[in-house]
Amino acid sequence: MDRDVSIARVPASVAESLRSEVLAVRIRPGDAVTEASVASRFDVSRPTARLAIDQLVNAGLLRREANRGARVPALSRADIVDLYDNRALVEGAALRALAEGGAVPADAVFHNRALADAPDEAPFAADDIAFHRALVTGQSSPRLSRMHESLMGEIELCIGQVAANSLWRPADIAAQHARVLDAVVAGDPELASRLVREHILTSRDRLIDHVDRTR
């Protein structure tokens, strides 16, 4: 039984290694990720490599192309707008529901404290993403959580591809988050929803400006 569990975990382990490389842009936009290359590199079977690649495709980190295998997508300006506009809708609904209960998820507080304490030059995307995930999973709708998760792989990809760590100070992000948390504690659904949407759309605009200037 233990051996079966161990074997079942291999595709997830390979997928996590590939995920880290895609998000760190060590596998670059446009690069092919083939079953043969993954199988050879990680010393796994082709079916295992296919399962690992499928996990990244499902997360939006790879896209399959007819007769060309899977590739890392290069996210466009239109992709960024679409992703962040939909993220704002989903998180706005989630924060409205969360504030109706008035309880702040402990994980959200933890990750925002890490952001507030981080030096300016420190990578902070992981704590930022974890903060937002904690807020959404803290409300009661599993369907809303699934909708959010369907966007977050590409959101992380976007942040990595445009070197977004250079666009913000962690303390500034933490301060915006803190205002959202205050609205949740105050039990103000409309304010919590508005603040998180403004936070996300401000990020969208800064990312778009960066892309327009650098591409």
pLDDT along the chain (215 residues), means of 10: 51 93 90 93 93 94 85 93 98 98 96 94 88 97 96 92 78 96 98 98 93 82
For residues 102 and 128, is the Cβ–Cβ distance under 8 A?
no
Token couple for 67: 């007769």
How many residues are present in the chain? 215
pLDDT, residue 8, reads 52
Structural domain spans, the chain: 2-71, 77-214
34/22 Cα distance (integer angstroms): 14
Token couple for 25: 């842009």
pLDDT, residue 6, reads 43
Select from 73, 3, 4, 90 the least CA-distant residue to 32. 73
Topology, domain 2-71: Arc Repressor Mutant, subunit A (1.10.10)
Domain covering 77-214 in this structure, CATH number: 1.20.120.530
Partners of residue 65 on adjacent β-strands: 69
pLDDT, residue 155, reads 94
pLDDT, residue 141, reads 96
Using the structure block, give the residue that is written with the tokens 């010393």: 43
pLDDT, residue 90, reads 98
pLDDT, residue 2, reads 43
